[in-house]
Chains A and B, each alone.
Chain A
């Protein structure tokens, strides 16, 4: 079952495409990390999935419906935007009451327990909260709404390390207990490595690679050896990046098969290396022998 399915999805702001040709399936029951440089289209994709934006091309289906198409659809999808928007004039308590009124599946026990644990004063106006506290309030509303899919745009960016860990613990507990699916964007690879089992890398408004984290790690290898042309590599080895010195060649390949060529020293990648390789090499191709000294 998929919670999000996009086909040729694109979004244009005036003359500029923020997302193009996005074809993506996000299966249910997973936590999917969305990574990419600023301006790659992460927030646009999340906004389209939430129904806050309308697509300029292609289609998107979320939890079996068109995003933002009605109350039933809105109940299924939770969305916390990047700056953790809350109503500055409403108190924390009023936010909880608003959440209870607007969301048919509202879990009041969960919301209040979380607010108490974070130590937010229910009588305080949200406008008086710190950035981190505001994010915690917005995230509490997102989890307590009990959506099928929770979309989080940079959820932990404004949290201190302790609050970040606590938030991720709560989020993972909700995933384990309620089978919640999550799509979250983040720059913090260490966090993504813990909580995400799937990854989508967006570069230059396009999906560069998507898949299960463990599969991605198992199929990418760093090959180091004497200088050679990468065109001589077996066809099943897809070159992600290549660097040459006058004597040495380092290639990052994606392949299902084991590396048999004995002239390569084969190394494994961690998630950060893998993501960086895709971010710094936006075009997939086999560039010729350029010398990097």
Chain B
């Protein structure tokens, strides 16, 4: 079982934070297939958040095929994110390291690198939507 928390400075809405924390736990192998997510009532009482927020997060995870709700019992993990990404992670990280070194050689400081990455990342993901 995982425990949720809310970060006021994350810039994400509470429901997005819950979704992200479950995905994160799946990726890190903290949650396995068959594990139960915290009950809505417990999350609500624990974090003092709106039950609809928790339901919305669980629905989105269900829609993504990561969890399934068993009425009257709870919500359970049905898939994992760990296997697929872990193998791909190492070469990607290596590529990124090389790119970072290149950016530094080109004279970019940390702020410049971050700004370049973020604007490219945003415009790329916007192109995907459009």
Scoring B6, B13, B51 by chain A CB atoms within 10 A of each residue's CB, the highest score goes to: B51
Q: Which of these binds chain A: B22-30, B41-49, B106-114? A: B41-49
A195 to B13, CA, bound (A): 11
Distance to closest chain A CB from B53 (angstroms) = 6
Are the C-beta atoms of B48 and A169 separated by less than 8 Å? yes
Find chain B residues with CB under 8 A from A195 CB.
48-50
Q: With A165-B48, A213-B13, A268-B11 as given contacts, are A197 and B122 in contact (CB-CB < 8 Å)?
A: no
**Is B52 in contact with chain A by the CB < 8 A criterion?**
yes
Complex interface residues of chain B between 16 and 72 (CB less than 8 A to chain A): 40-41, 44-53, 56
Q: How far is the CB of B122 from chain A (nearest CB, A)?
A: 7
Do residues B122 and A168 form an inter-chain contact, with CB atoms below 8 A? no
Do A197 and B52 touch across chains, with their CB atoms under 8 A apart?
yes
A265→B47 CA distance, assembly (Å):
34
Q: A31-B50, A172-B51, A176-B51 are in contact. Are A194 and B6 (CB under 8 A)?
A: yes
In the complex, whether A75 has a CB less than 8 A from a CB of chain B is no
- Are A172 and B56 neighbours in the complex by a CB distance under 8 Å? no
Q: Which residues of B contact A16 (CB under 8 A)?
A: none
**Is B15 interfacial (CB 8 A cutoff)?**
yes
Residues of A within 8 A of B47 (CB): 194
- Cβ–Cβ contact B48 & A168, under 8 A: yes
Q: Which residues of A contact B11 (CB under 8 A)?
A: 268, 270
Query: Is A292 an interface position by the 8 A CB rule?
Result: no
Contacts A173-B41, A258-B129: A197 and B53 contacting too (C-beta < 8 A)?
yes
Q: Is A236 an interface residue (CB 8 A)?
A: no
Is B86 at the interface (CB under 8 A from chain A)?
no
Chain A residues positioned under 8 Å from B50 (CB to CB): 31, 172, 175, 194-197
Given A214-B13, A214-B15, A258-B130, A172-B8 contact (CB < 8 Å): no
Shortest C-beta distance, A161 to chain B (Å), equals 11
The reply to whether B14 and A175 form a contact with Cβ atoms under 8 Å apart is no
Tell me whether B94 is interfacial, beta carbon within 8 Å: no
CA distance A195 to B15 in the complex (A): 11
Q: Does A217 make an interface contact (CB < 8 A)? A: yes
- Shortest C-beta distance, A223 to chain B (Å), equals 13
List 29 contacting pairs A-B, 8 Å CB cutoff, sorted by A: A29-B52, A30-B52, A169-B46, A171-B48, A172-B44, A172-B49, A172-B50, A172-B51, A173-B44, A173-B45, A175-B44, A175-B50, A175-B51, A176-B40, A176-B51, A190-B8, A193-B13, A193-B14, A194-B47, A195-B48, A195-B49, A195-B50, A197-B52, A197-B53, A214-B13, A214-B56, A259-B126, A262-B123, A268-B11
Interface of A toward B, CB cutoff 8 Å: 29-31, 165, 168-169, 171-173, 175-177, 190, 193-197, 213-214, 217, 258-260, 262, 265-266, 268, 270-271
Q: Which 4 A-B pairs have the closest CB atoms?
A: A168-B48, A176-B51, A169-B48, A197-B52
